[in-house]
């Protein structure tokens, strides 16, 4: 099967953080949007189902994008806030900061 250049994962947000997490993503900092674009991330969507969120974006080089984000002061500031809201957590300094979902179908 041909693969896309999409990357997807899910996270569950703590009940007590849900309202703030949604607010942050409905009104993201302009700098965070700019940094994701500079990292090569495009067509980024987040979908909500209660406290579960589905994230999907396109990127030609995810490893390079995550390396860029890991070095970004504004992304580290954003992640310091939002990572406390996630059940479990994430760290862009780790080898695999996000557990990607396996793509099983792609229609071009």
Residue 66 domain flag: yes
Domain extent for 72? 6-85
What burial letters (b/e) apply to 64-78, b meaning 16+ CB within 10 Å?
ebbebbbebebbeeb
Q: Is 39 exposed, middle or buried (0-12, 13-18, 19+ CB in 10 A)?
A: buried
Q: Give the pLDDT confidence score for residue 108 in this predicted structure.
A: 84
The domain that holds 64 is classified in CATH as 3.30.70.100
| Domain annotation covers residue 99 | no
Give me the sheet containing 52-58, strands edge to edge: 6-12, 52-58, 42-49
Inside any domain, residue 93: no
Residue 97 lies in a domain: no
Q: For the segment 34-92, what is each residue's pLDDT rounded down to a tens digit?
A: 999 999 999 999 999 999 999 999 999 998 998 999 899 999 999 999 989 998 766 65
pLDDT band at 6 (very low <50, low <70, confident <90, very high): very high
Report pLDDT for 57. 96
Residue 102 falls inside a structural domain: no
Asked if residue 98 belongs to a domain, the reply is no
Q: What is the pLDDT of residues 94-106, one digit of tens each?
A: 666 678 899 999 9
Does some domain include residue 38?
yes
pTM of the model: 0.87
Whether 21 maps to a domain, the answer reads yes
């Amino acid at each position: 099967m041909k693969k896309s250049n999409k990357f997807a994962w899910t996270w569950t947000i703590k009940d007590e953080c849900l309202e703030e997490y949604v607010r942050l993503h409905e009104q993201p900092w302009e700098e965070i949007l700019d940094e994701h674009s500079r990292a090569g991330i495009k067509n980024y969507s987040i979908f909500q189902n209660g406290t579960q969120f589905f994230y999907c974006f396109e990127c030609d080089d995810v490893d390079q994008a995550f390396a860029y984000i890991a070095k970004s002061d504004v992304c580290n500031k954003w992640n310091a806030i939002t990572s406390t809201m996630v059940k479990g957590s994430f760290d862009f300094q780790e080898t695999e900061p996000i557990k990607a979902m396996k793509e099983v179908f792609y229609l071009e």
